[in-house]
Amino acid sequence: MDPVFWLLVALLGFMLIGSLIAAETRDLLSSVISLGAVGFGTSVAFLLLGAPDLAITQVVVEILVLVVLVRVVITRKDETYTASHSTLAVGSVLLVLGVLVAVMFWMLSGPGEGSLRMRPFGNPLMNEEAPAAAAAPAGRPELATTVTEPRSIGGAYLKHDLEGTPGVNGTGAANYVMGIVLDSRGYDTLGEATVIFTAIVGAYAVLRRKGRKPHARDVADR
Amino acid sequence: MHGMSLIVKNITRLVAGFIAIFGIYIVLYGHVSPGGGFAGGVILAGALVLVVLAFGEEFSRRVFPQGVAHASDALGAVGFLLVAVLGYMVGGFFMNFLPRGEPGSLFSAGTIPISNLMIGVKVGAGLFGVFLALALFRRQREGAPESDWVERRGTYGEDT
């Protein structure tokens, strides 16, 4: 097997252990730091899978969030409480869900060419090309074009986004991710920026001191 | 929030500028190498957070007050929208209306570097503003949780 695959499996184990510690430990600070370890594991996984943009974003956001969380946790007193769950109920629900997911994967990952079939790991559809459709007019097979096009939109972006096709300008961005995010799919990014802006304004509105009624302030500080 | 010990302050003096320059690089070269406005903006916010943690809120009040953070946040959002709307000059929303240039050079890819810059300003200022809100607003109320902080974790924060 691919060594990257086994590295990813090891990382997955590390992240699972980290999440278990984060969920189970009594100390809030240890919990936050375990969450940070899980985040860094995610970042390394992105790097191994060949997504440096995502890896950079993940690692810097992780650091900033970790700093803020540690700051908040240190300021507070340890106010942890334990809620008792029935181990049998939770375990059986998780087991049924796991079996369900496993059966779905098993059904979808068999051989065959149906549109519902999952691709094997590491062999995405965008690596494949097919002859362009509607190639030859009827009765003139010698006019059939030999041009092939990628079978998925991801492959089409990789092939045409930089230079463009005849009649359509390319983005000219050497980093394909930015070309897609800020040009070909600019609407999505605008929506994302709107979400961040709204979230930040919401945080200000919740945390502000000025303009609040005294009563509301008392309730919120409790 | 008071500053931290002398060691932390000196290390911060050495390092913070490099972190900020790295963030600016990530923003400006987002269309050439991995990175982009969001990641670079978060790095810039991280540099500011580091300085505020080391030197205390006095620094932020003098150099980068919260009003400036709010204004930059809004400015970045409006700028990004403006770049999108200016695309109507050549035919549509989010059309790339600038020349493409040589792929791989700094001045290439039309409007993409400008959008990156706007997103970087927006994200950096916004996240720093939220950090200020979380760190400073809480302190202003009675009961002084800050002294509690210094008491409990005395090694982390030195009262100067």
* pLDDT tens sequence across A175-193: 788 888 887 788 888 888 8
At B47, give phi and psi (nearest 5°). -60, -45
Interface of A with B in 201-220 (CB under 8 A): 203-204, 207-209
Gap between the Cα atoms of A114 and A95, Å rounded: 29
Share of chain B above pLDDT 90, in %: 6
Taking the model in full, what pTM does it have?
A: 0.74
Taking contacts as CB-CB distances below 8 angstroms, the residues of chain B near A171 are: 96, 100, 109-110, 112
Gap between the Cα atoms of A122 and B117, Å rounded: 34
**Does residue A158 sit at the B interface (CB-CB below 8 Å)?**
no
* pLDDT tens sequence across B80-138: 888 888 878 777 777 777 777 777 777 777 788 888 888 899 988 888 888 887 776 55
Q: Which of B7, B45, B53 is nearest to B128 (CA)?
A: B45
Count CB atoms within 10 A of the CB of residue A115: 4
Q: Which of B96, B108, B111 to mutate to test the interface with A (most CBs of A within 10 A)?
A: B96
Question: Least CB-CB distance to A56: which of B34, B108, B140?
Answer: B34
Q: Which of A73, A77, A178, A190 to mutate to test the interface with B (most CBs of B within 10 A)?
A: A178
Count CB atoms within 10 A of the CB of residue A97: 10
Q: Which of B114, B91, B101 is nearest to A178 (CA)?
A: B114
What's the mean pLDDT in B3-22?
87
pLDDT over 60 at B1, yes or no: no
Taking contacts as CB-CB distances below 8 angstroms, the residues of chain A near B97 are: none
Token pair of B78, please?
């409006």
Taking contacts as CB-CB distances below 8 angstroms, the residues of chain A near B129 are: 200, 204
* Residue A28 parent element (H or E): helix A28-48
Q: Which of A183, A125, A133 is nearest to A156 (CA)?
A: A125
- Hey, where are the domains in chain B? 6-147
> Looking up tokens 């096709």, which residue turns up?
A165
Inter-residue contact B99 to B92 (CB < 8 Å): no
